[in-house]
Amino acid sequence: MEAAKRRQGALRRHLTGKSEEDVVVVCALRTPITKARKGGLKDTPADDLVAAVLKGVLDKTGVAPSDIGDIVMGSVLGSGSQRANECRIAMFYAGFPEEVPVRVVNRQCSSGLQAIADVVASIRSGFYDIGIAGGIETMSSNPMAWDGSINPRISDFEKAQGCLLPMGLTSENVAKKYGITRLEQDKFAVESHARAIRATETGRFDDEILPVRTKFVDKKTGEEKQVVVAHDDGMRKGLSLEKVQKLKPAFDPEGSTTAGNASQISDGAAATLLMKRSEAQRRGLPILGTFRSFSAVGVDPSIMGIGPAVAIPEAVKAAGLQTSDIDLFEINEAFASQAFYSCKKLGLDLGRVNVNGGAIALGHPLGCTGARCTATLLHEMRKRGSKYGVVSMCIGSGMGAAAVFERE
């Protein structure tokens, strides 16, 4: 009953137009996304990355640090208490006063998007009028691992066992269950790289990327030098289908998921500045987009990659829309198998999905991805004059998340 009321309310809002109480995005920035352990940000600490994007959104908008009601950052792999402290430290690097609070949220691969949804919910609830949401991951420093032992009780719960499957095996499960072929996955991956290269060479990412001044240590010589990292470095120019087809399966000798059709481990951070529409109007700030709806749903952990296929319809319905109303999609490419399946299941035009490439080419810094995809989506919507856009991703342990944005 409550869910139905929320959908009806969303529909009424959609039909009646803008409201001063709408929560809008006035700025969305990200660092370059670089290869873990060998890319441009491999030697950059998490607090420096967070500080860069926090300061970036303030410099871009002229909003005073003391005006921020809260900062919420998504993060997955960093130690909970340490990452929370790093984000607090980053605030001070960026010039925030001690009165501004911060917290870290972890809903695995959707953490950056969850942070945005959390800030939106707080603004709608009247807790504050302005907030920053984003995400951070330094997979160079914090590799994926399971700490400690595993509770033997898990042997009695089949669904719980699925939560511990390597993500690559869940990709294989999706491919096998839904008949996604190796050729379909490899073609999807090659296109991701081609689109990312094209977007980079034509300056498509320039409005969203915040160059980072940092250090880089040469692994061979140990020499440290100061650099400015201004571009993503994961995509491969001229990558051919023939080359990708030669790669061996990475998780199952008889499988179809390879290093070439899966997302890259990466480093990066992103942040969005959100506020009520009335606040944005009072300050004379341009509005990139209005946050219309959010959904987080659970699915079978063993096929966790299908999450977007379930979450997107929920979010779109909550916004009073249909999937056919959506102009652009940013669907995280954890694996080509699940991203392609989700598009196929929903009947999406691939020409409207990840038009500037996705995580297979750009990388997937887990806690950052949701905020990175939001920045990419909103800037591309502005360039194209799109009205509605969706950000979505699958989530480890069996979930999916999606959010709908409307452009002014």
Long-range contacts, stretch 154-161, CB < 8 angstroms, 24+ apart:
159/300, 159/301, 159/398, 160/301
- Find the farthest-apart pair of alpha carbons in the chain and give their distance in angstroms, rounded: 64
Going from the C-alpha of 150 to that of each of 160, 162, 167, the distances in angstroms are 11, 13, 17
Catalytic: 343? no
Place of tokens 């999916």: 400
Q: Which of 109, 343, 368, 373 is catalytic?
A: 109
Q: What is the dihedral of CA 60, 63, 66, 70, to 10 degrees?
A: -70
Q: How far apart are CA 205 and CA 337, in angstroms?
A: 26
In DSSP terms, 229 is beta-bridged to 212
Helices (H), 212-354: 241-245, 277-283, 307-318, 336-346
DSSP class per residue in 34-51: EETTTSTTTT--HHHHHH
Catalytic: 87? no
Calculate Rg over the CA atoms of the chain.
Answer: 20
Q: Which of 87, 343, 368, 394 is catalytic?
A: 394
Q: Which of 193, 343, 364, 368 is catalytic?
A: 364
Is residue 252 classed as helix, strand or coil in its secondary structure?
Answer: coil
As given in the structure block, the two tokens for residue 382 are 């502005």
Is residue 127 classed as helix, strand or coil in its secondary structure?
Answer: coil
Catalytic: 394? yes
What is the β-pairing status of strands 102-105 and 70-74? parallel
DSSP class per residue in 371-385: HHHHHHHHHHHHHHT
Contacts of 293 by beta carbon, 8 Å cutoff, 6+ apart = 10, 315, 316, 318, 319, 403, 404
What positions carry a catalytic annotation? 109, 364, 394
